[in-house]
Structure formats: C-alpha cells, structure tokens
Amino acid sequence: MRKLASVQVIRDLLPIENADRIELAHIEGFQCVVPKGYHVGDKVIYIETDSICPKNETFAFLKGHSHIKLQKIRGVYSQGIALEYHGDAPVGTDMTKELGIVKYEPPEQPMDTIEAFPWYIPKTDEVRAQNIPELLTKYKGVPCYATEKLDGSSCTIYRNKGHIGVCTRKREVDNTSLMFRTAEKQGLLDFISNLDKDIAIQGEFVGPKQQGNHLHLPEHHIYVFSVYDITKQGYFDQDTMGLFLNFHNVDTVPLVNEFALTDNIDELVKMAIGNSTFGNFPREGIVIRPIEPIEGLQGFLGNRFSFKVINPEYQMKKGE
C-alpha cells in the first residue's frame, strides 16, 4: 500500500518570487508550498495528491475541499500539503490510517461485474517517481523506456485453466459489458484462447466516456502495457513482450523515449511533459520501466521496477 500521508522532513526551502508569506518546500521528491516559518530539517506530515482527507478539525482549514489536488500557486506547482508535526515518530512513518485519509479513485463507468479480481494476478498500479528517490539513485544509468500513460480504465484479460475473463481494476466483468465486447472485437479473447499457456494481458481501456476521453477517440480500444505469465508467476520483460505482442498484432501503449535512468525528478517531469502520440493535446504522463530484467531485483513486480511520471500540465487541466 502506498503511504498517502507520512512523516517526512523538509529537505530544502526556496523563496517564491513576489510572495512574502509562502515558500516552496522540498519533501521527498515532491515540492509543496508552505507558509513561512518552517526550517530545513523540520519534520512534517506530508499528504500527497490523490488523498481524500476527512472533514474534521485537523482539516478544517481545507474548507471542505477534502480532495488534495495539484495546484499552481504564484506560478509554481504545489503537490500535496504539509502539516506541522512535533511528535517523535521516525521519518517514513505511515500516518494515512491514523488521519483517516483514503485514496481518491476516479469513477469507473458502471459495469455488470460477476467476480472478484483473480487473486493470483497482480493488480495494475504505478508508484510516482517522486515517492522512490532511493530507487532512482540505485538504478541511475540503467537503460529504460518510457511509454505514454493513457488516462482510461485498467483492463486485465486472462486465461486460466480454460476460463477466459475480462476485469477492470477491481472486478471481473460480464460478457455484455463494453470492456468485454471491446476485447472481443479487437480479437484479444481469440488471441489468448489460442495460446498454449495461461497468461494475463494488461492494458488501458480508452474511448468515448472513459475518464473524459482525453484522446478524443471515436471508438473504444485497449492498449496493452504488460503481459503476465500465470504459471510462472512473472511478467514478460520488454523485449519478450514486444516480440510476442507484435507477432500477434496486439496494440500496445505508444513508446515515448528510451534513455538512461536519471534520479533528477525535474528531468523526469520534463520528459513527461509533451503532447500525446494520439494528437495535439497534452499526454497524461509516462510510465518508465527498465528495458532488460534487473539481475538481483526480486520485488513484487519480479525483476523489474515500474513507475509513473504525471505531466503537471495535464493534471492541472484535469483538476486532479
């Protein structure tokens, strides 16, 4: 689980042009506007964007705007909020539950669901680059690729012991649902039924009425970003996945860049800014993964890491 609220320290404080009362604090890989009076090294409770705060005394100053969003204040981006903290919990301590904070989930189009998401397939999710400064430094220089992050709904299509299923982020959907029919129409169900092994393909379902259809697509479509081998319990690496999907004519999320990983957040954010491959409008962001499996890395995602960098211009426009 991601920590939406945690004890952190202010790493740096910078003045903001023409502002007497506020400053820009650097906390983890994030930057956040705070009132003057803080010092470098002060502990704070840092609350990320995507948090929904409870409506109580602690958060009365939000005046009911309990969904923490990216803001632009005096021309600078402010990510999340910082609260004074005078306790002695160590840096990194999770405060999410204690403060009653929950994650904002964008509304999914209602669909008839039939089952829970299969427990043996990892759910799709991406951490933010700003949350993983140590990982970025550890793997600095590693050849990586970035794909365009599409703002739709997560879709997992799997085959297991003869059963074919289509799932949203949380549930398996009925065969009359739009997502199921889109997968069928695209030939994805035939594709996985004809294979000789049990796999799951995961992609983004986009099109009319999906999260505002920012790509302005006339029809629904699924763009794949991961392939998971259910029997071996591991993801395909980039090359294997590329060859496999290409061979079977499966559409993937567009490639944006190949580069050596940097731990400079500003550079990563710069890379995320730009227009979509689909047209003349800003992309949601990028998702970065290593090109080759990483020797010795054995995490939840197997021997790879994966994270997102959101385009702040897109996030502002969308109001999240």
Can you give the binding site for ligand AMP, defined by CB under 6 A?
Answer: 124-126, 147-150, 154, 204, 225, 253, 287, 308
Quote the least distance from Cβ 188 to ligand AMP, whole Å. 16
**Which of 46/235 has CB closer to ligand AMP?**
235
Nearest to 253 by CA among 313, 206, 213: 206
Amino acid at 307: F
Smallest gap from Cβ 13 to ligand AMP, in A, equals 28
Residue 135 vs residues 27, 256, 264, 307: alpha-carbon distances, Å: 16, 22, 12, 10
The CA–CA distances, whole Å, from 166 to 151, 171, 222 equal 19, 9, 12
Least distance CB 94 / ligand AMP (angstroms)? 19
Q: Which is nearer to ligand AMP, 150 or 200 (CB)?
A: 150
Q: How far is the CB of 11 from ligand AMP (least distance, A)?
A: 24
Nearer to ligand AMP, 51 or 154 (CB): 154
Query: What's the rounded Cα separation, in Å, for the pair 83 and 146?
Result: 34
Closer CB to ligand AMP, 85 or 145, in the complex: 145
Nearest to 95 by CA among 201, 1, 227: 1
Nearest alpha carbon to residue 38 among 98, 95, 82, 97 = 82
255 beta partners: 147
Q: Give the nearest distance from C-beta 225 to ligand AMP in angstroms.
A: 4
Question: Measuring CA to CA, which residue among 98, 161, 129 is closest to residue 261?
Answer: 129
Short-list 258, 262, 60, 24, CA closest to 145: 258
Contacts of 87 (CB under 8 A, 6+ apart): 7, 43
What are the backbone dihedrals phi and psi of residue 220, each rounded to the nearest 5 degrees, phi first? Answer: -75, 145
User: How near is the Cβ of 124 to ligand AMP at its closest, in Å?
Assistant: 3
Taking the least distance from each CB to ligand AMP, the nearer of 25 and 179 is 179
Closer residue to ligand AMP, CB minimum distance, 2 or 36: 2
User: Residue 44's CB: how many other CB atoms inside 10 A?
Assistant: 21
Nearest distance in Å: CB 314, ligand AMP: 11
Instruction: Give the integer Cα–Cα distance in Å for 260 and 274.
Output: 19
Type of residue at 117? F
Nearer to ligand AMP, 23 or 204 (CB): 204
For residue 156, give both structure tokens.
């997992």
85 versus 259: smaller Cβ distance to ligand AMP: 259
How many residues are recorded in the chain?
A: 320
Closest distance to ligand AMP from the beta carbon of 279 (Å): 16
